[in-house]
Copies of this chain bind each other. A is one copy, B any other.
Amino acid sequence: MNTSRSTETVSTALAVLRSHGLRVSTSRRLVLEALFAAGVPVTADRIATGLDGRLPPLDVASVYRNLDTLEQLGVVRHLHPGRGPGLFALAGSDRAEYLVCDRCGQVRAIDASLLDPVRAALQETTAWDARFSRFPIVGTCPACAAR
């Protein structure tokens, strides 16, 4: 259920690599598999440790290099939370954006279409083509807001 789907998407990503004349190496495959297996945005370090041992380890430097390559191909998304290391996730075909709580660090995904009105408004007033995909939206989750 998870395997077939992730395999499908991993091979799709690998095809993108090939179509750009880049090599399909073991570490690139592993980086993608880790992202699939994780399911949520993760740090480069966790990918390097194979999600804490679930997959073979890689050198962090290679992870960063590969994530960078994959990001440029549009396969991977790079998120900057307020504090700590950056997070990486598969871009896939999802239209998700993330909310991160500035008190407990909890991450929550929302449908990107929620932001379409703002995108349109910004386009109209500033002529900028806004993307919200680089940063999570910082706020306070209900639980933290309660206390």
Q: Could you tell me which A residues sit within 8 Å of B by CB distance?
A: 80, 82, 99, 101-102, 108, 110, 114-115, 117-118, 121-122, 125-135, 137-142, 145
Contact = CB atoms under 8 A, between A and B. Distances in A.
Count of this chain's copies in the oligomeric assembly: 2
A127 to B, nearest CB: 4
Contact of A118 (B118, B135, B141): B118
Contacts of A137: 122, 130, 132
Nearest to A101: B128
Nearest to A78: B82
Nearest to A144: B129
A102 B115 CA distance: 19
A125 B115 CA distance: 12
A118 to B, nearest CB: 5
A84 B138 CA distance: 20
30 contacts: A80-B80, A80-B82, A82-B135, A99-B128, A102-B134, A108-B126, A108-B128, A110-B122, A110-B126, A114-B118, A114-B125, A117-B117, A117-B118, A117-B121, A118-B118, A122-B137, A127-B141, A127-B142, A128-B139, A128-B140, A129-B139, A129-B145, A130-B137, A130-B138, A131-B138, A131-B139, A131-B140, A132-B138, A133-B138, A134-B138
Given A117-B117, A145-B129, A122 B139 contact: yes
